[in-house]
Amino acid sequence: MTDSEAPRRLRVFLVDDHAMFRAGVRAELGVHVDVIGEASTVSEAVNRIAATEPDVVLLDVHMPEGGGRAVLDAMRRTHPHVRFLALSVSDAAEDVIGLIRAGARGYVTKTISPDELAAAIRRVAEGDAVFSPRLAGFVLDAFAARPDAPVADPELDQLTNREREVLRLLARGYAYKEIAKELFISIKTVETHVSNVLRKLQMSNRYELSRWAADRRLV
């Protein structure tokens, strides 16, 4: 293959709030794609993606200011040609489904190898949907269970990413102390999140929340 026939190197933007992770991804992907920028917050991401217009954005799920969902919400109307691939440590069904509903073209976990990630980026750039093997089932189940239902879930959408994390652990039977340890937050903060979730969903106790979470396959 001549140089003129070689595939164009894709322009990729990284969004993650951990600098060491961004540096590692940049180093690993540098032989495959052109990493043209990075951001650690939602506001940085929105401004820099708009300025650079990459082919594909690698997007973390949980970050300050609303996480990957907020980036997608801000960009999908003004920059519909930019494709997003979620790259996260989370393999929770509600995270996967939430990002896909918001417009991401795929979702892979951070255990993916550099070569596999490079291949996933190219597939997303070409218009394919890409998922880590276990995660594809979440998406299929979500849409097969209620094929005629609207894509959005207004009740779930009103919860922040952190509130969803707390809700999921609560529904799994974790005590407040265990949730605090798992999420590296204080017990008081856990109590505040639970109170907010109860208020938003108009429920009175954790048992109602657990049933609600189970009905939506969040557990």
Q: What is the pTM of this model?
A: 0.63
Q: Following DSSP, what letter does each residue of 10-48 receive, concatenated?
A: PEEEEE-S-HHHHHHHHHHHTTTSEEEEEESSHHHHHHH
Question: Out of 45-54, 79-88, 132-141, 164-173, which region has the weakest mean confidence (pLDDT)?
Answer: 132-141
Q: Which residues contact 67 (CB under 8 A, 6 or more apart)?
A: 42, 60, 61, 161
**Chain segment 59-79, per-residue pLDDT in tens:** 998 887 788 888 998 887 788
Q: Where would I find the H helices in 63-186?
A: 67-75, 93-102, 114-125, 133-145, 154-157, 161-171, 176-183
DSSP helix/strand/coil, 186: coil
pLDDT for 149 equals 44
- Structurally, at CATH architecture level, domain 11-143 sits in 3-Layer(aba) Sandwich (3.40)
Confidence of residue 145 (pLDDT cuts 50, 70, 90): low
Confidence of residue 10 (pLDDT cuts 50, 70, 90): very high
**Chain segment 22-39, per-residue pLDDT in tens:** 999 999 998 889 999 999
Please state, as a whole number, how many other Cβ atoms lie within 10 Å of the Cβ of residue 31. Answer: 9
> Are 61 and 67 within 8 A, CB to CB?
yes
pLDDT over 80 (residue 8)? no
The domain limits of the chain are: 11-143, 156-216
Q: Distance between CA 69 and CA 101 in Å, rounded?
A: 9
**What are phi and psi for residue 109, nearest 5 degrees?**
-90, 165
Two structure tokens written together for 82: 């930019």
Q: Which fold has domain 156-216?
A: Arc Repressor Mutant, subunit A (1.10.10)
